[in-house]
């Protein structure tokens, strides 16, 4: 995904194209579970605004009610580890998205199923 001055240059070069073509050409597309493409418009427009020096401060750091995200998670009493909606929204995750869980000594990594990183070992 293009960001900063590279994103602005690409948008300028593409000129008068559809919003879908613009976001796709700049790399803001991911694969859905069924193999189709999902255009990540929110991420694209947030990156475009940031490239132009505008920081909305919305989903990039604030959760519901204006709380600042802590980037920490606590294991709950039932043993579950919850990743909140604010984080999944920042990543443009959708219901049904699947991840492979990679465990190391003291960390947990979630790798989207079907990505190159998932298959690397």
Give the pLDDT of residue 33.
83
Considering the domain architecture, whether residues 54 and 81 belong to the same structural domain is answered as no
Query: Quick one: pLDDT band at residue 57, thresholds 50, 70, 90?
Result: low
Average pLDDT over residues 39-68: 72
Q: Pick the more confident residue, 88 or 61.
A: 88
Q: For residue 110, what are its two tokens?
A: 């979630």
Contact 58/10 with Cβ under 8 angstroms? no
Q: What is the pLDDT of residues 60-86, one digit of tens each?
A: 444 445 567 778 888 899 999 888 888
Closest-CA residue to 11 (of 3, 27, 22, 24)? 22
What average pLDDT does the chain have? 82
* 64 vs 85: CA distance, rounded Å: 9
83 plus 34 within the same structural domain: no
Assess whether pLDDT exceeds 80 at residue 106. yes
Total domain count for the chain?
Answer: 2
- pLDDT for 60 equals 46
- 42 & 98 share domain: no
Q: Are 77 and 94 found together in one domain?
A: yes
Structural domain range at position 36: 1-61
């Amino acid at each position: 995904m293009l960001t900063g001055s590279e994103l602005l240059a690409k948008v300028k070069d593409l000129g008068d194209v559809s919003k879908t073509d613009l976001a796709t050409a700049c790399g803001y597309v991911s694969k859905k579970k069924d193999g189709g493409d999902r255009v990540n418009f929110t991420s694209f427009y947030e990156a475009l605004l940031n490239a132009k020096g505008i920081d909305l401060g919305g989903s990039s750091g604030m959760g519901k009610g204006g709380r600042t995200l802590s980037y920490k998670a606590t294991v709950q009493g039932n043993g579950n580890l919850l990743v909140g909606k604010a984080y999944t929204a920042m990543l443009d995750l959708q219901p049904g998205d699947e991840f492979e869980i990679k465990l190391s000594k003291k960390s947990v990594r979630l790798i989207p199923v079907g990505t190159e990183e998932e298959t690397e070992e």
